[in-house]
Amino acid sequence: MNRIVGAASLVFCIFSSVTAQTPSPAALPPYPKPRTVSQTDTYFGTTVADPYRWMEDLDSPDTKAWVNAENTITADYFKPLTFRTALHERLLKLADYERFSAPEQHGGRYFYSRNSGLQNQAVLYWTEGLRGVPHVLLDPNTYAADGTVALNSVSVTHDGKLAALALAEAGSDWQKIIVRDVSTGKDLSDVIRWTKFGRASWLHDGSGFYYSGYDAPPEGDTLKAANFGMKIFFHKLGSEQKADPVVFARPDNKELFLFGGVTDDGHYLVISQAQGTSPNNELAVLDLQTPGAQIQRVITTADATYAAIGNDGSRFWLYTTVGASNGKVISLDLKEPARDHWKTILPEAKGKLDSASLVHRTLIAQYLTDAHSNVELFSEEGKPLQTLNLPGIGSANGFDGRRDEAETFYTFTNFTTPGVIYRLDMKTMRSEVYREPKTSFDRAAYETKEVFVPSKDGTKVPMFLTYKKGLQLNGQNPTLLYAYGGFNISLTPAFSPTRIAWLEHGGIYAQASLRGGGEYGEAWHQAGMKLHKQNVFDDFIACAEWLMAQKYTSTPKLAIRGESNGGLLMGAMLTQRPDLFGAVAAGVGVMDMLRFDKFTVGWGWKADYGGPSDDADEFKAIYNYSPLHNLKPGTHYPPTLIFTADHDDRVFPAHSFKFAAQMQQDQAGPAPVLIRIETRAGHGGGMPLSKRLDVEADIYSFFLHELGAQ
């Protein structure tokens, strides 16, 4: 039900602080009863109430009191669940295995990260040569006792002598870039602040780097204020940040994300310009070898994705979706960049071309076939060379390198295989295992199958199912259904040690690739965005109903989970089909769809959601599914655990705060509605392992208890 303000609903009871609500006969937790205010907004003639607007002030005494009261209730819920201790211990054991990232080579030195097992943050190492002695370059665990400082990105000079390291604190998207001498481990004086999302890109001679940044936000508002007007700066080593010149800006459009990268040969700076999170972009280049050169606008219309793969002088290979929903590779020459001079190298294929790289004068094309990887190798002119023999159905990622290098590395994973790193010799085209994790569970005890579920309109939705061999189809299996469905993001098979604990309890893990994602190209993405967002929810409902119809599970045994845009999905499921699920976990969700664009970089999501204040049709579509505005008093909602973090400056925590407060008020059934607010954490990236395992232990304990599966 939409909360449209009428004469009666304009009057709210005002409380000066947070008080306790008397428990009902149904033994509900004593939820706080936060005050309400008579805040209303009008959108295209529709007046909408926002009684918990004050929760957007995270530092107010009332908000802090409400957060403390809610965390106390949630902690009290878990105290009687004695099995949680054993579950947490099992999660610790499952997570305690050595794991690495694929190495990158710069100047004969190899750089990679390693976690010995239970370290809060992975440590960055380097070696002389591939098999050299490891040296620690940066250990984030030494920056904060609670492990809340994370290394977000690493950018190394061409000769391997200097590294620009982007650090983030307490889960924030804001990064601080420092520069470290690789040999000595000592930091230079250079420090860059107020940068997000991008990474430093060095000049070929290592004298400085380009980075994307913002003006400093208002003091005290760093985690809330909207971030507009991204610019590309150049930092010369040894200078102060305030002296960094702006290399590129777009004052005509403050809602553009701008990112720049130097080509491997050091000849050009390639600049991408995208409207928010849209996959479509403009492209420009700056000739770094010609003094006084002006920026050349190569692609001036953001009608598709254009991503530089590599170059040979002025000739560029680009990944693009122009005229190809599934993606293709073209080449163009900066001397004749007009579209009628473009050449198709890899035409659009049946499967989605997810990405491509250029190593050893070979195009490595990573395709998705029904949401899992297929890798093909081609000559620079598009001649087929080889199909990479992957070890099974799963996800292959990596394949980084330069056009003149003779090796690349990639990682293969699936639901029961932790990331195995392979080295691909580009001369022989042979792969060999470089590093393989050793884990403490029996992979052979489980199996994975892929099914295709017809949605409401007949569209086939792929879904992976993983479970113990010998599963009985009796409708009584505890099942966790996970999905995302947005922003052109593809959900493919991936390993999580915490999910193994679920499988060991006899659970089924189901992962659905909904419309709105990128699994089947841009057409699949567009079928789940803006005015078509309801397709995403219909797809998820269809997958849940299919699991029941096929006797995998039933409503009392079905848990669902999603984070971020997937948290929005959970909110929509709670409001559209509260009868269908046995338990729900909604993480860092976009719950107030009328105000998502008011905070930090939320405005960028209008590319996917539409603008609630910009377009009447988009407002109507958004208002019809916005979780906060479709909660209904007197509804029997299923057991629900909402989780967020106090430093989330991606999806502002007030989304979850307001949704939880309203849902607790509207709950008419006996099931708990809880919210868990993590401290010194953000949207999820960079969260220390100890905190992550605590969160996971709570979520899985909640599911097991509410489904009666512990």
- Taking phi over 0 as left and psi of -120 to 50 as alpha, with beta for the rest, 93 belongs to alpha
C-alpha–C-alpha distance, residues 277 and 280, integer Å: 9
Contact 457, 428 (CB under 8 A): no
Structure tokens at 589: 């969700």
Q: Is 564 a catalytic residue?
A: yes
Q: Catalytic pick from 88, 629, 655, 683?
A: 683
Residue 504: in which H helix or E strand, if any? helix 497-504
> Cα 508 to chain center, whole Å?
23
Read off the DSSP letter of residue 37: -
Residue 358: which residues within 8 A CB-CB, separation 6 or more?
309, 310, 317, 364, 380, 403
Q: What pLDDT, in 10s, does the model give residues 179-207? A: 999 999 999 999 999 999 899 999 999 99
For residue 464, pLDDT over 90 is answered with yes
DSSP conformation class of 295: P
Name the more confident of 250 and 12.
250
* Res. 27 pLDDT band, cuts 50 70 90: low
Contact 69, 77 (CB under 8 A): no
For the stretch 392-443, pLDDT in tens is 999 999 999 999 999 999 999 999 999 999 999 999 999 999 999 999 899 9
Backbone torsions φ then ψ of 102, nearest 5 degrees: -65, 140
Strands 583-587 and 640-645: parallel
Confidence label for 7 from pLDDT (cuts 50, 70 and 90) = very low
Over pLDDT 70: what percentage of the chain?
96
> What backbone phi and psi angles, to 5 degrees, belong to 51?
-65, -20
Task: Answer whether 571's CB lies under 8 Å from 586's CB.
Answer: yes
The whole-number average pLDDT for the span 350-378 is 98
Residue 11, pLDDT above cutoff 80: no
Please report where in the chains the tokens 């010149």 appear, as a residue: 245
Task: Output DSSP code: residue 408.
Answer: E
Query: What length does the chain have?
Result: 710
What are the φ and ψ backbone dihedral angles of 140, each rounded to 5 degrees? -60, -25
pLDDT exceeds cutoff 70 at 104: yes
Mean pLDDT lowest for which of 127-141, 453-467, 640-654?
640-654
What's the Cα-to-Cα distance from 113 to each of 31, 122, 123, 467, rounded to whole Å? 44, 6, 5, 31
Distance set, CA 114 to CA 47, 118, 123, 654 (Å): 53, 11, 5, 35
Confidence class for position 682, pLDDT limits 50, 70, 90: confident
- Stretch among 6-20, 138-152, 453-467, 532-546 having the lowest mean pLDDT: 6-20
Average pLDDT, the chain: 94
Question: Which residues are within 8 A (CB) of 577 and not within 5 positions of it... i.e. 6 or more apart?
Answer: 541, 544
CB-based contacts of 50, cutoff 8 Å, min separation 6: 37, 39, 40, 41, 592, 595, 658
The predicted model scores a pTM of: 0.94
Distance CA 329, CA 321 (A): 9
The secondary structure of the chain in percent helix, strand, coil, rounded to multiples of 5, reads: 20, 35, 45
Beta strands 231-236 and 558-563, pairing class: unpaired
> In this predicted structure, what is the pLDDT of residue 329?
98
Give Cβ neighbours of residue 543 (< 8 Å, ≥ 6 apart): 453, 461, 463, 481, 483, 510, 512, 514
Question: Residues 431-456: what's their mean pLDDT?
Answer: 96
Alpha helices per DSSP H over 334-443: none
Closest CA to 606 of 618, 617, 616: 618
Q: Which of 212, 564, 626, 701 is flagged as catalytic? A: 564
- Judged by DSSP in three states, 589 sits in coil
Cross-strand bridge partners of residue 6? none
The CB-side HSE value for 25 (13 A sphere, CA atoms) comes to 0
| For residues 376-389, average pLDDT | 98
Residue pair 564/543 in contact by the 8 Å Cβ criterion: no
State the DSSP H helix or E strand holding residue 450, giving kind and residue range, or none if neither.
strand 446-454
For residues 151 and 679, give the distance between their C-alpha atoms in angstroms, rounded to a whole number. Answer: 19
What is the C-alpha to C-alpha distance for residues 584 and 565, in angstroms, rounded to an integer? 15
Q: Would you say residue 4 has pLDDT above 60?
A: no
Task: Examine the residue annotation and report whether 207 is marked as an active-site residue of this protein.
Answer: no
- What tokens appear for 265 in the block? 């040969």
Q: Got the DSSP string for 527-586? A: TTSGGGTHHHHHHHHHHHHHHHHTTS--GGGEEEEEETHHHHHHHHHHHH-TTS-SEEEE
Long-range Cβ contact pairs of 1-6 (< 8 A, separation 24 or more): 1/630, 1/631, 1/632, 2/48, 2/623, 2/624, 2/629, 2/630, 3/48, 3/49, 3/629, 3/631, 4/46, 4/47, 4/48, 4/49, 5/40, 5/47, 5/48, 5/49
Convert the pLDDT of each residue in 588-618 to its tens digit.
Answer: 999 999 999 999 999 999 999 999 999 999 9
Give yes or no for residue 680 having a pLDDT over 90.
Answer: no
Please answer whether residues 521 and 321 qualify as being in contact, where contact means their C-beta atoms are separated by less than 8 angstroms: yes
All residues at 6 or more sequence positions from 338 whose CB lies less than 8 Å from its CB, including other chains:
none
- pLDDT above 60: residue 343: yes
Q: How far apart are CA 302 and CA 480, in angstroms?
A: 39
Q: Would you state the structure tokens that stand for residue 456, as one six-digit string?
A: 């409401």
Q: What is the pLDDT of residue 28?
A: 56
**In this model, does residue 3 exceed pLDDT 70?**
no
Average pLDDT, stretch 41-47? Answer: 98
Give mean pLDDT, residues 485-498.
97
d(CA 399, CA 390): 13
The residue among 363, 162, 404, 381 whose CA lies nearest residue 265 is: 404
Whether the per-residue pLDDT at 497 is higher than 70: the answer is: yes
Helix (H, G, I), strand (E, B) or coil at 145: coil
Lowest mean pLDDT, pick from 427-436, 490-499, 648-657, 697-706? 648-657
Rounded CA separation 163/156 (Å): 4
Tell whether the model's pLDDT for residue 367 goes beyond 70.
yes
pLDDT for the residue numbered 25: 32
Instruction: Identify the pLDDT of residue 18.
Output: 34
